[in-house]
Copies of this chain bind each other. A is one copy, B any other.
């Protein structure tokens, strides 16, 4: 089977155990994650041939990051190595009305110093059918944005389908910067994914009747957003995840898919949160898997939403679930009865 390639930054995530706050911690649990790495993880877990591309430092920490992907079957042969550092993020888990807090320490990482020509995209895309990246990667720096463009162009040239998760990160760039760079990349993107805030933050396309902080979302407004995105950039498909933030412990979770003609709305799950990091990434992976598997749009959005709802019950960034588990939930069994 032809492989899927994802490209971005994988970081070491350090989290105080349980609900400890940073200043209370006497140690950290170690996870690894990053937008595109999380997608690669899920696709490998679903049985697809998946290759993850990044730049890592040649030290035990960089090796450990690559090993964690390799452990779950992601191909890491296209990773390149240097002497810089592994990006780190510290993540403290919230509860009830206390939000989770993330402290990034990712500047000057190996991938943030990657530049045009570092990667042999022609070789990387050999036998590839799909390329996925997120808005985080070009935000790492103009040099990395150039690498993204280079990758997108190579993908298009080689007939590889391209998906992008907008994933706006305000601590990496401004909306203006994001708009300028992402606008250049959009022509190469076939499938766009965004969350309830991204379209507004990046392209200024705002959903009506929605107040994200207050946790109330209006699906109709997002249909309009999807429609505008499609008409602006000519995407084949646009998917939007819809999170209702009731508290740090409970979220509503859904998503919609627009194929340029029709809207498909996924189920709405009320999730008791174990770890919500990587929720959007697991949605992307679910969507990519569905489309590669030839699912109809309604089934595709259902799979993507169910898969990513399950992510919220899994510790770490990676969505450690298999296809059968997602399909069982899709069929309506959310009873959580013990599987013996």
Contacts and interface: CB of A to CB of B under 8 A. Distances in A.
Interface of A: 14, 17-30, 59-61, 63-64, 67-68, 70-73, 85-86, 88, 90, 92, 94-105, 107-108, 169-171, 212-215, 245-250, 269, 271-277, 309-310, 312-316, 320-321, 325, 329, 332-340
Contacts of A59: 103
Main DSSP-derived SS at the A contact region: loop
Contact of A98 (B96, B100, B107, B310): B310
A99 B247 contact: no
B336 A248 contact: yes
A93 to B, nearest CB: 10
A96 B312 contact: yes
A27 B29 CA distance: 4
B99 A339 contact: yes
Given A18-B315, A98-B314, 12 more contacts: A14-B14, A19-B314, A22-B61, A23-B64, A70-B72, A85-B107, A94-B338, A99-B335, A100-B336, A104-B340, A213-B335, A245-B335
Number of copies: 6
Contacts of A85: 105, 107
Nearest to A108: B108
A101 B336 CA distance: 10
A27 B250 CA distance: 27
A302 to B, nearest CB: 14
Residue among A61, A97, A215 having the largest count of chain B Cβ atoms under 10 Å = A97
Contacts of A60: 21-23, 90, 92, 101, 103
Contact of A70 (B73, B95, B276): B73
Contact of A95 (B28, B64, B274): B274
Contacts of A335: 97, 99, 212-215, 245-247
A96 B314 contact: no
A178 B53 CA distance: 39
A322 to B, nearest CB: 9
A170 B338 CA distance: 13
Closest 5 CB pairs of A and B: A248-B336, A71-B71, A22-B60, A245-B335, A97-B334
Nearest to A318: B24
Contacts of A274: 19, 95-96
A68 B71 contact: yes
Given A28-B28, A274-B95, A337 B18 contact: no
10 contacts: A19-B313, A19-B314, A22-B64, A23-B64, A23-B67, A61-B103, A94-B338, A212-B337, A245-B337, A248-B313
